Structures are given as structure tokens and as C-alpha cells.
Amino acid sequence: MRLDEYLVSEGLVPSRSRAKRLIEKGQVKVDGKAVLKPSQKVEYGRKVAIEGEDMPEGYFKLKGIQEASGILRPGDVVLDIGSSAGGFLMFASGIASRVVGIEFSREFLEPLSNVEKEYPGVKVMFGDAFRMDLAALGGPYDVILNDMTVEPLTSIEVLKRFLPLLKEHGRIVQVVKLGPRGTPEPMIKKLAEAGLKIQKVIRPQKMEAYIVAEK
């Protein structure tokens, strides 16, 4: 079997395009030796390892949220507002059936294009979440993830724009950026005023809080 096909069949990567990129970068080793050709034949039972794969911070952030809340479920359709380098998209695509990301900054064009190619079920749209036409996003969605790099109350105002796309009893994760002595309480109140039922507030060891709620 080809090495790129082997990586996919063993669940080490989500797609052959991602396998190909990792192989050509020298990050895949077979029996301890780097292989640079995706077409290299490999037999089952060989020791195949991926080294130095660097995932965006958002991947591990959402992984922690998922472990604490179980917000993502198989078959979900997910909307990610403020996709940045694509960490939320990458993690969510491993559970959900479809993930749509929204990003404003073109500096993330290349990494997000790679995520679209390499992670099945992912689509990225570039636009201004404050003004974009919601009809273009389709829906409805089971989950909305919001990790915009703006002031917390502004981020919640944006989230409220997208709530009509969320199914009844759909779930949201609102990431809240806090200062050294910040508290998520004002944002929790705003979400409750928007008709959301707060399920959990996760406080990791950093200046953020993750609010999990249901419509």
C-alpha cells in the first residue's frame, strides 16, 4: 500500500492530501527513517510515525472544551466564527459531519485553504461577521463556536446575529477573553438575556473562560 494511503487507513491523518504534505516535509518515518515519497510502498506491521506535527492552539483549546462538556456529537453541523488558523475546524471535523468556518483576516488564507483540502467536511468563508449575509451560510446548525478576537461584549453581539441559524436546543461555545482580574459574569448575563441557557462555565489556567450554553 502507498504510504499516504496507509496513513489514512490507520487513522493517523484525515486525508491523503494532508498525508502527502507531511510526507514531503519529512515528518513521516518508516522504521525510524524519513520517507519523502507519498507513493512509497509500505506493508502492514511496519513502524510508521509522524513527528513534529504542529497543531494550532485552537485545536487543543476545543479538545479541552470537548473533554469537559461533550458539546460536539457525531453527525453535528457546526459553525465556527473566527476560525483564525483553523484549530477549531480541525478538531471539530473529527467528530462532526460538517464544519463551516468564518474568518475575516486574509493572513489566514493559506492555512485555512490547507485545512479545507486536508480535513473532510470543512468549508471556510472569508467575510465580516458583523455584516455578512447569513443566508449564504445555510444552516440550521447544531453547534456554534465563537472565538473572535474582539472585546467580549462585542463578540456576544456578533453571536446574537447568528443565533437564528442555530437549531432549537442547539449548543454554543462562547470564548471570553479576560484580563488578569476579569470575570465572565457580565458575559454570562448577556448570553442569558439573549435567551440562552447556561450549561457550564469552564475556567482553564489562562485569561479566558469558555461558556457552554443551549438555545
CA distance 14 to 10: 10
Going by the DSSP 8-state scheme, the letter that residue 13 receives in this structure is: S
What is the pLDDT, as a whole number, of residue 142? 98
What is the pLDDT, as a whole number, of residue 52? 67
Phi, psi of 176 (to 5 degrees): -115, 120
Q: Set out the domains of the chain in order of their start, with CATH numbers.
A: 3-50 (3.10.290.10), 57-214 (3.40.50.150)
Contact partners, residue 195, CB within 8 Å, separation at least 6: 163, 215
What is the pLDDT, as a whole number, of residue 205? 64
What is the pLDDT, as a whole number, of residue 188? 94
Secondary structure (H, E, C), 78-139: EEEECCCCCHHHHHHCCCCCEEEEEECCHHHHHHHHHHHHHCCCEEEEECCCCCCCHHHHCC
CA distance 100 to 165: 12
Nearest in space to 30 (alpha carbons), one of 1, 71, 55: 1
**pLDDT, tens digit only, all 215 positions of the chain:** 899 988 888 777 878 888 888 888 888 888 888 889 999 998 877 888 887 666 788 998 999 999 999 999 999 999 999 999 999 999 999 999 999 999 999 889 998 999 999 898 999 999 999 999 999 998 899 999 999 988 888 999 999 999 999 999 999 999 998 877 778 899 999 999 999 999 999 987 678 899 999 99
Element (H, E) at 32: none
Answer yes or no: are the C-beta atoms of 112 and 101 closer than 8 Å. yes
